[in-house]
Chains A and B, each alone.
Chain A
Amino acid sequence: MKTSRLDKYGKINRDKILSFSWDKKKYKGFEGDTLASALLANNIGIVGRSFKYHRPRGIFSSGVEESGALVTIGSKDKRDPNVRATTQELYDGLEARGQNAFPNVNFDLAGINNYLGGFFAAGFYYKTFMGIPPLEWGRGTAIWMFFEKFIRKAAGMGSASGLPDPDTYEHAHDFCDLIVVGSGPAGVAAAIEAAEKKLDVILVEQDSLIGGNQLAENDFDNSQIKNQLENLGIKIMTRTTAFGLYDNCVVGLLERVTDHISAPNVNIPRQRFWTIRAKHIIVGAGAIERHIAFNNNDIPGVMTVNASKHYLNRYGVLTGKRIVIATNNDSVYETAHQLSEAGANVTVLDSRTNFEIETNKSFEIRKGYVPYNINGSKKIDSLDISKSETINKSETINCDQVLLSGGWSPAVHLLSHRGVKPKWDYNNACFLPSDTKENITMVGSSRGLWNKNDCIASGIAGTTDALNRLGISKTNYFFPKPGGWKNPIQPLYEVKYKKSRSKSFVDYQHDVTTDDVRLAHREGFISVEHLKRYTTLGMANDQGKMGNIIGLSLMAELLNKEIPEVGTTVFRPPYTPVSIGALSGRNVGKHFRPLRVTPMHQWNIDHGAKMIEVGLYQRPWYYPKENETLIDSYIREASTVRKTVGICDVTSLGKIAIQGPDSTEFLNRIYSNGFSKLQVGKARYGIMLRDDGIVMDDGTSWRLAENEYFMTTSTGEAAKVMSWLEELLQTRWTDLNVNVTSVSEQWAGISVAGPKSREVLNNCVDDSLVVTNNNLPFMGVTSTFLKGNIPCRIARISFSGELAFEVYVKSDFANTMMDLLWANAKKYDGCLYGLEALGALRVEKGHVTAAELDGRVTIDDAGLSKMASTKKSYIGSAMRKRGVLKNNDREILVGFFPTNLKETFNAGTIVCEKNNIKGQGIGRITSVTYSPELGHWIGLGFVKGGLDKWKDTNLVGADPVRNKQMNLKVVSPHMIDPKGERMYA
């Protein structure tokens, strides 16, 4: 192929010269070039190596269907592999490289794969590595694991940088009445018609310029169209691909904001991921020209006819000197004419014998001829042609380029995303979009219209259709009939020459040949979906835009069926690749998920807290002094709580205000224990079950007034409990007069625990009488004031097993409360304690948390049978003893000690009988801590049959993940102060 830039052609800006590099050598191009057109202008023919066989590959197309010119752009952390050179706009300083080749695409050592074709045929991986007899499954897999890395290296594409992506991406949203995809004549006509009818219109174009395939015309100028669209207030989005259609007229767009700029402003995102909610969608996505399968149809220099027209008229590049065009339809003749006018020697091989076409005789037409083999390896030397009826050598034409047009495939992809199957049209040899009930209308050549006037008419009809469906008008309209060529197309997908074993490619990018399709047929993979997976036809990142129909026609021929009987594969989003960065947008790093902090978050950090994530919340984990480790610190904190006093931030607990005359009845129904007799000024611990009788959550509810309660939930289940209460009140018990309001953010809460807690609190409240044992007994509640006139709620509740209080103030007073309480706690050598110490204290007491209440546990399993009322019905009461839940070998909550008290164990340890260490054992350890009180490690967990069954038996803890094993004994979960004397103190 000998390419050259012509002075009088193209719409590039020749005043602006851009320099770029290809495989480390410097070249020049112009503003308006794509990387592909600049490479062609510099006469670079080989731009890649094929996927499996490492055959040299050139540029096949001028657009998104490109399956040869996949290159790597940029370097280091900006390296972007598998970029289509045909859609990458040139910019100054662009660095591009060939990929899948060593040392380079011109001389690739792995080219030897071309001669090992037999190994790499369809199904190669499956046959070689999966279940090779007599190897059993496991061994075959091991062999695959061993070879995989070598194979992946040899067969493949570009590689990612492996470094964090330095670019930023953005998610954006918009709404409109009508979104039009594609700015060809049909899309533009539709957009103008709609804007004139006062619709709010967005027009999306994947190219940098509007115009669609008109950009390949020599006399096309889009400036007038652009003005008109802008004057009508249409939002034009260029460099933006509608990659997917979703339910309810939602369209996903990818806007490439800076991919065409050499040094983009760092404050602008590289790409924007748009979610557009429209009322109607018009798709004028155009059509894609197909190639033809025949021997060596992939030699650099092969291209679609339309691509060559683009390069000539848009970029001023003549892609060959001696050009042979092979076709079966009328669409090539204008291009043939223009190429010969531009100075090429052109011959057209038309497979049809009977047709009329007007030409100026500047090129030769060979009626009834087809190509069957290309001679050459890195470039085209000549083309073997034959009469189309029987393929026999008749002539060899010297040429440097072969342009192919096997017909056009309307881009029905977006409609296919909605599950609408296209229908085969015999007259035009293509799939056409079917009608849909959804508000989507296909226009232009994507509904099989080949003439510009028909496209324009279809655009206007499309908008009328939209207006009718939106109830704005009731106007009759009709779409022009598909087609529009003077002579009918003659189906031509493959030229089969049996006397040679050269490869004939169906899918260039994945190296799928006609022989692969035949092999799949022989081996029974005849359904389209099997064919696709067995041969990987259409599974490369071009998604078979050019090759799918050819593969389908071959299978139809083999099965002696028609194409529509064989079916079509379903296209799924995205239409063209979408970068992972665009999908994640700003949700990376610390913005990966929302962050919740308590109102005293900074106070905690200022006082030395190390934080830990609990759900979305940041909670104090431990407060190390000087060189303390986590263990040192929590042992000190837990000991201090047991000895004197500690303060802990418990704000992350869910808090719900329950108000209204039926509040008591409501709580009595949702908790398993009785609430009907709870007095005002008292709190109660309660357990909620799910409908199916399993424990959902536990917490406390405080009766503040006759018709008002304050409920706390666990941190993790707060949102779920709130939704559950709303569901019950709005769907099941609509007669109850109860209102629930989440007040989790409104109240800051702390726990003050330890024998000195009352004295500390005493110093902090306005009226010291309110916290005396008489006035605030165990589970008592009071609304009072902290010093400084700060309103607060105090309940005498204990999670640690010590005398303890929960104190809540409005969130704004959080820091004041902390200052006040901490200053007083220090007087008693108190401490601040975090989640780790809180955990140690509750494990010692056998109190369950989310680690135990994991959605599989009943009240009885958790050893809380006393909490299940027998005097009333409540949610889950009918189901809590159903079927398996009443088996007596269920796993019951127990405590664990290591038999040798110097040993330790971890949560997750499987509990087994001594001589039966296997499977799931007879239980599990869920929470583990060092007990400062007992002086050794202890655990909470479950064992089948519970304490009674295993009290005096030595069991084994198996921890295969950490490769540990230890002897255990089962103890009561209430490992300290079982009678609760400290709490009631």
Chain B
Amino acid sequence: MIRINCPYCGERDHSEFNYGGDATIKYPSLNSSEREWTEAIFFRKNIKGFQLETWHHSHGCRMWLVVERSTVTHEIKSVKPCHPDFQKVVENNK
């Protein structure tokens, strides 16, 4: 079981969270072309090692988080809120 240290709730089982996806995607603007959207939606790297991914604390504070996790060992290096303003709040409360 993966344990994720939610910056708001503390360390919790992964069953409290939902996996989102690749956290590094820059989604194109809504009026971008089909080609740009295709790149953003369908093409994914298959990383062996640490990757940034989003998780939703759906059974907790409902925050979307960026988790730096190893796809090999499940080791988690860092957990941060996705929203920059939430990030600031977390930083200030450390």
Contacts and interface: CB of A to CB of B under 8 A. Distances in A.
A500 interface: no
A246 B1 contact: yes
Contact of B3 (A248, A731, A734, A877): A248
Contacts of B11: 277
Interface of A is mostly: mixed
A726 interface: yes
A244 to B, nearest CB: 10
A734 B34 contact: no
Contact of B2 (A247, A275, A729): A247
Contact of B1 (A248, A727, A734): A248
A801 to B, nearest CB: 34
B30 A875 contact: yes
Interface string B61-94: 0111000000001111000011111100000000
Contacts of B63: 730
A381 interface: no
A878 B1 contact: no
B74 A691 contact: no
Contacts, number: 78
A874 B30 contact: yes
A250 interface: yes
Contact of B81 (A719, A730, A874, A882): A730
Contacts of B64: 726-727, 730-731
A877 B2 contact: no
Contact of A730 (B1, B58, B82): B82
B1 A275 contact: yes
Given A247-B1, A248-B74, A723-B56, A878 B83 contact: no
A80 interface: no
B54 A669 contact: no
The contact size tier of chain B is: 35 or more
Interface residues of A, number: 29
B81 A879 contact: no
Contacts of B75: 437
A726 B83 CA distance: 10
A9 to B, nearest CB: 45
Contact of A731 (B29, B30, B54): B54
A874 B29 CA distance: 9
Contacts of A719: 58
A734 B36 CA distance: 21
Contacts of B84: 734
B47 interface: no
B46 interface: no
A250 B41 contact: no
Contacts of A879: 34, 37-38, 41
B64 to A, nearest CB: 4
B20 A878 contact: no
Contacts of A731: 20, 23, 54, 64, 82-83
A603 B6 CA distance: 41
A727 B81 CA distance: 11
A727 B38 contact: no
B1 A882 contact: no
Given A247-B1, A731-B64, A878 B85 contact: no
Interface in B2-31: 2-3, 11, 13, 18, 20, 23, 27-31
Nearest to B28: A878
Contacts of B58: 719, 723
A732 interface: yes
Interface core residue of A250, A877, A878, A881 (most chain B CB under 10 Å): A878
Contacts of B2: 247-248
B16 to A, nearest CB: 13
A727 B33 CA distance: 22
Contacts of B3: 247-250, 277
A248 B13 CA distance: 10
Contacts of B62: 726
Contacts of A878: 28, 30-34, 36-37
A692 interface: yes
Contacts of A275: 1
A729 B38 CA distance: 22
A874 B86 CA distance: 26
A669 B29 CA distance: 11
A691 B22 CA distance: 14
A246 B3 CA distance: 10
A882 B82 contact: no
A271 B81 CA distance: 40
Interface in A222-279: 246-250, 275, 277
A218 interface: no
Interface core residue of B64, B75, B84 (most chain A CB under 10 Å): B64
Contacts of A873: 29-31
A656 B73 CA distance: 38
Contact of A732 (B18, B27, B32, B37): B27
Contacts of B29: 873
B8 to A, nearest CB: 12
Nearest to A173: B13
A873 B62 CA distance: 28
A732 B42 CA distance: 17
Interface in A870-917: 873-875, 877-879, 881-882
Nearest to B1: A250
A275 B13 CA distance: 11
A691 B37 contact: yes
A882 B54 contact: no
Contact of B18 (A250, A691, A723): A723
A398 to B, nearest CB: 56
Contacts of B85: 734
A438 B20 CA distance: 26
B56 A877 contact: no
Given A248-B3, A277-B3, A882-B38, A730 B86 contact: yes
14 contacts: A246-B1, A248-B1, A248-B76, A438-B73, A723-B18, A723-B58, A727-B54, A727-B64, A730-B63, A731-B64, A732-B27, A734-B82, A878-B37, A879-B41
Give the 6 A-B CB pairs with smallest separation, nearest first. A873-B30, A248-B3, A873-B31, A730-B64, A247-B74, A250-B1
Interface of B: 1-3, 11, 13, 18, 20, 23, 27-34, 36-38, 40-42, 54, 56, 58, 62-64, 73-76, 81-86
Given A691-B27, A730-B86, 7 more contacts: A247-B3, A248-B74, A691-B37, A723-B58, A734-B83, A734-B84, A873-B30
